[in-house]
Structure 1
Amino acid sequence: MKALVLFSGGVDSTTCLGLAVEKYGADQVLALSVYYGQKHKKEMEAAEKIAKHYGVLWKQLDLALIFADSNCSLLSGSTEEIPKESYAQQLEHTGGSPVSTYVPFRNGLFLSSAASIALSHGCEVIYYGAHSDDAAGNAYPDCSSAFNDAMNQAIYLGSGNQLHIEAPFVNWTKAQVVKKGLELGVPYGLTWSCYEGGETPCGTCGTCRDRAAAFAANGVADPALGGESFGRTK
């Protein structure tokens, strides 16, 4: 096994998966999806379908207990409602602090856990889909370039120089991520991004707004909302 991909079933991580499969081949890629106490399991259901589409090994990890005391609005035990605003609008209310959908040190925990699993499977690299739009304004500080560099160094040193991180989109916008995914034939029609767990995406939460803008910037309709599906068939 060459690569482990942290895989939520959303746009960014699915594009990462497409990149890894393109580079290493499906038989050399492990997709790891993490349940952390979300209000729904739509992402996990999407991840399973996409893993089958690519023919990669798929594993699930339950870390919900770690976040049991958090009141992050994404979590099932939260008393907070998921904001129906863009991230820029939300940051106007936070005074520069992370938004309410920031799960405390989530990517740090995910990457550390993934490192152990990756080493156990002989992987050389962990891919994850952090991008600059999420890091902007400190909305999600664990998506920043500085955070990625620090975690990469820690994992490389802590693994005895066996394992490193690839965050190919850390300096890209989401529109650039989608552009690359369209070139790769990523099956965006199978992905799920919405923070709500309804039958269809809500269209108003921060991630729905970002996703819609990214597809619009590429001049295509979002296939998850009835647009043309661009995924390659197997």
Structure 2
Amino acid sequence: MKDSVIIVSGGMDSITMLYEYKDRIKLGVSFDYGSNHNAREIPFAQLHCERLGIRHIVLNPGFMRSYFKSSLLEGAAAIPEGNYDEDNMKSTVVPFRNGIMLSIAVGIAESHHLKYVMMANHGGDHTIYPDCRPEFVRAMSAAATAGTFAGIELWAPYTGIAKADIARHGKVLGIDYAETWSCYKGGKHHCGKCGTCLERKEALKDAEIEDRTVYDG
């Protein structure tokens, strides 16, 4: 039964979730909110949704780029290089980004008579991004349920696992991760040096998946 909306970025995590739960997903929603890498990742979201026969829509909350403060919205040069940890990656936080996207997706879900909104946060996000943590997921799900006639729920099945575990799911599903995007700099190729690139490399290595990503460094 197709009862879910998924927020799908075009990255490894949401594309894996898209394939793993394709029989439950009615609609994929991407947000072009002005980040450095939206133009690189959203086409992959569209590609995979089309491949699976899932309707895909792109929404443009452009006010986020105009009024929010984050290196993710300030160009490639602002993105820190080095390990994916709190001290290095905190500047990439877009304040309450997931809260905003989920609120919109909840409205879409109720409008389309769907029960769940899916997000692909994972355990490695918890220390850096407040709106990826388990307590946030629980609170947003409770708010969605209380604030809709249909009792919409937030469904985040990767909350407690690592990115390498997600990659292992994808390996079983036969996903080609070269058809996904991670790099926060948003250049022609993955930079190979920012935290998301390093996390991508490590996850694929740990899952024993050949990394066919093209890196500049």
Task: For 1:63, give the aligned amino acid.
Answer: P
Task: For 2:41, give the aligned amino acid.
Answer: E
Q: TM (normalized to structure 1)?
A: 0.85
- Residue 217 in structure 1 maps to residue 206 in structure 2: yes
Instruction: Provide Cα deviations, 1:108-144, integer angstroms capped at 9, x if missing partner.
Output: 00100100011111111111100010112xx111110
- Residue 84 in structure 1 maps to residue 73 in structure 2: no
- Residue 38 in structure 1 maps to residue 35 in structure 2: yes
Matches within 5 A, 1:1-234: 1-21=2-22, 23-24=23-24, 28-40=25-37, 41-76=39-74, 81-88=78-85, 91-92=86-87, 99-136=90-127, 139-225=128-214
Matches of 1:187 and 1:121, distance apart in 2: 31
Using the TM superposition, give the Cα deviation of residue 225 of structure 1 relative to its aligned residue in structure 2, in angstroms. Answer: 3.9
Gaps of 5+ in 1: 227-234
Using the TM superposition, give the Cα deviation of residue 79 of structure 1 relative to its aligned residue in structure 2, in angstroms. Answer: 9.7
Task: For 1:209, give the aligned amino acid.
Answer: L
Matches of 1:18 and 1:216, distance apart in 2: 21
Q: TM (normalized to structure 2)?
A: 0.91
Q: Give the aligned length.
A: 213
Matches of 2:43 and 2:150, distance apart in 1: 34
Is residue 155–residue 163 contact of structure 1 (8 Å, CA) maintained in 2? yes
Is residue 27–residue 55 contact of structure 2 (8 Å, CA) maintained in 1? yes
Q: CA RMSD in A?
A: 1.9
Using the TM superposition, give the Cα deviation of residue 103 of structure 1 relative to its aligned residue in structure 2, in angstroms. Answer: 0.4
Using the TM superposition, give the Cα deviation of residue 86 of structure 1 relative to its aligned residue in structure 2, in angstroms. Answer: 1.4
Matches of 1:79 and 1:49, distance apart in 2: 25
Matches of 1:158 and 1:220, distance apart in 2: 42
What is the percent sequence identity of the aligned residues? Answer: 34
Matches of 1:225 and 1:18, distance apart in 2: 23
